[in-house]
């Protein structure tokens, strides 16, 4: 089968399409015939060498939508099931940007019924990161939240999920994105920060750091979207970061929210697997609204 990997770190030209053996599922694993998978900033970071590596080829891709093709022992799925899954990891020899991928059975969820595979392939990584970040905050309905990078994929999901929970959301993004951010459920909008100590919490999807922290009230909470990216605590503010993890049960909840119209899946463009380097170059150029999706 074909798969996108990096053997040496660098720019988009470092992405290679190689022929490798089709992986076999072990106990409590499933093999998915990949229909689509989004390209995310984490793929660009891996390609550039920000996570290091052992010198062996590293697979690209975390998101997958497709069809269960084979099941291992004690895997509660059937061949032919339509699923989405998160294959989390930055040093694996194969990722989801391939024709087939093996994931733990409990990382998969039934795909949303109301969208195609290309759109479903944008859900796992960014929506799971958003909901797990909100869980860290433990905000009650009526609380106030600033989401930086609210027009981005993860930030957009965070705005929708928080609004669905009854949280008052202010979205931060470029001025040109105000209509989009408000359409996602933000009641307020800013291109900068907010007044000091004005919100209960910040979800820092844009990784602004300390300038965004200033907007949190004394004793509030700040969550960075980058592991280890949170600033030091000040004024009693609890600062932490979200480390996304695969969770099929939570992903099934998110898929249901797609079918209920709570979550919007945004596709900015599609590329064949052989065009993976082009997708990397476009994402690296910035300004993409929605996700670029590889279709093997």
Q: Give pLDDT < 70 ranges for the chain.
A: 54-55, 90
Cα–Cα distance for residue pair 195/289, rounded to 1 Å: 27
Maximum CA extent, the chain: 56
What DSSP designation does 115 have? S
The residues with which 4 forms a beta bridge, in sequence order, are 17
Cα–Cα distance for residue pair 192/123, rounded to 1 Å: 28
The dihedral region occupied by 56, where left means phi > 0, alpha psi between -120 and 50, and beta the remainder, is: beta
Cα distances from 107 to residues 70, 159, 241, 260, in angstroms, run 15, 24, 21, 22
What is 126-241's CATH superfamily? NAD(P)-binding Rossmann-like Domain (3.40.50.720)
Residue-level pLDDT at 21: 96
Domain ranges of the chain: 2-123+265-295, 126-241
What is 2-123+265-295's CATH superfamily? Medium-chain alcohol dehydrogenases, catalytic domain (3.90.180.10)
The residues with which 168 forms a beta bridge, in sequence order, are 144
Residue-level pLDDT at 195: 81
Residue-level pLDDT at 91: 74
Residue-level pLDDT at 55: 63
Note the pTM of the prediction, 2 decimals. Answer: 0.96
Pairing of strands 291-295, 267-272: parallel
Return the CA Rg of the chain.
19
> What pLDDT, in 10s, does the model give residues 221-250?
999 999 988 999 999 999 999 999 999 999
């Amino acid at each position: 089968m074909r798969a996108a990997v990096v053997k040496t770190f660098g720019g988009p030209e470092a992405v290679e399409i190689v022929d490798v053996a089709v992986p076999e599922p072990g106990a409590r694993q499933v093999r998915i015939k990949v229909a689509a998978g989004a390209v995310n900033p984490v793929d660009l970071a891996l390609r550039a060498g920000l996570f290091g590596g052992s010198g062996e080829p590293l697979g690209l891709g975390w998101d997958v939508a497709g069809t269960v093709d084979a099941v291992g022992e004690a895997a509660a799925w059937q061949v032919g099931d339509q699923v989405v899954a998160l294959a989390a990891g930055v040093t694996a020899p194969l990722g989801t940007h391939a024709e087939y991928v093996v994931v733990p059975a409990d990382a998969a969820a039934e795909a949303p019924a109301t969208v195609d595979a290309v759109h479903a392939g944008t859900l796992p990584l960014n929506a799971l990161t958003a909901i797990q970040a909100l869980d860290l905050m433990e905000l009650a309905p009526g609380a106030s939240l600033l989401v930086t990078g609210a027009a981005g994929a993860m930030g957009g999901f965070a705005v929708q999920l928080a609004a669905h929970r009854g949280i008052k959301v202010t979205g931060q993004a470029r001025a040109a994105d105000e209509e989009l951010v408000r359409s996602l459920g933000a009641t307020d909008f800013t291109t900068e920060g907010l007044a000091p100590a004005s919100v209960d919490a910040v979800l820092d999807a844009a990784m602004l750091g300390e300038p965004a922290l200033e907007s949190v009230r004394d004793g509030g909470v700040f969550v960075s979207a980058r592991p280890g990216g949170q600033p030091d605590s000040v004024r009693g503010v609890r600062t932490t970061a979200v480390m996304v993890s695969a969770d099929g049960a939570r992903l099934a909840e998110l898929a249901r929210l797609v079918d209920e119209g709570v979550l919007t899946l945004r596709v900015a463009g599609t590329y064949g697997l052989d065009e993976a380097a082009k997708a990397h170059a476009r994402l690296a150029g910035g300004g993409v609204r929605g996700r670029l999706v590889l279709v093997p």
